[in-house]
Amino acid sequence: MKLLIVDDNPINQKFLFYSLKKYYEIDTANNGLEAVNILNEQDFDIVLMDLSMPVMDGAEATKKIRESLKFKNQHIPIIFVTTNDFEHEKLRCIENGGDDYLIKPIDIEELLKTIDFQLRQKHSFL
């Protein structure tokens, strides 16, 4: 299983990477534009997306991923992992195609359950 972590903060990237590396093959992106470009070149099973990033934020990146022809017949679960605890931001992320929205600091057990749930949802649609 391949997982893409999208976060501009190297500490957050490392925390998620080291917490999840025994379960998934992991790659990272530093902003939404990098994530869109990586996803156009490689296949992943799930994406962990920060919201507030330079160049392109997570909500805009998610919208572009959902609009991409490459993903037209494939649903990659996108879980937002963010410090933004505002209802309007959560709504924007979900409206742009996000599947779930978790607030930092992240409980790894909760994150693993959310990832498992989203992967089961994805496979039920195949």
The ranges assigned to domains in the chain are 2-125
Residue 69 scores a pLDDT above 70: no
Q: What fold is seen in the domain 2-125?
A: Rossmann fold (3.40.50)
Query: To 10 degrees, the CA torsion angle through 107, 113, 119, 120?
Result: -170
Residue 33 to residue 56: CA distance in whole angstroms: 6
pLDDT digits (tens, 9 = 90+) for 6-38: 999 999 999 999 999 999 999 999 999 999 999
pTM as predicted? 0.93
